Structure 1
Amino acid sequence: MTYLISIFMITTFYHHLLLTLMTLEILMISSMLSIFYILTLINFEYFIMIMIPIIICEGIMGLTILIMIIQFKGKGSLNSMNLNI
């Protein structure tokens, strides 16, 4: 259910970069939980140890890019900037 809600949020709030990043984090966490539930049935839980650092690094990279865009462009809205850097 959260997966569908996060996809809906991406399609409606795509113009603001911070909301898009937060929605992508919700999407990744809900995907991870559904994969974890499936893999628990076949005793393959250590996959979560691989997935969590990937999610953390993705979030850090997104926030770093957001900070760099705000520093250079001055705005965090995707409507007011050209992303051809």
Structure 2
Amino acid sequence: MRVHSQAGAPLVLQHGIDGAIDVRDERGRRLRYRESARGRLRIPLGRVESAVVLPRGTGPDRDPRDVPAVGDAKPWGLPD
């Protein structure tokens, strides 16, 4: 799953991936993150940065895909 920050603030993400995960930038480099609860991550992202969350061991060369939001999919955060 790929997430993109337009505002540049820490992202809190509830994912549905079973097992261990990796969090990487779009070039495949590992990003720092903190797991605050099972399946819930806090990722510090700068403005216009993206993070790719994927099952551990799948490799950064796997093409990320956009996943539709559950419920209201309106953008949030600070205005441009």
TM-score by length of 2: 0.21
TM-score norm. by structure 1 comes to 0.20
In terms of fraction of residues, the more helix-rich structure is 1
Larger strand percent: 2
Question: Which of 1 and 2 has higher RCO (CA within 8 Å, sep 6+)?
Answer: 2
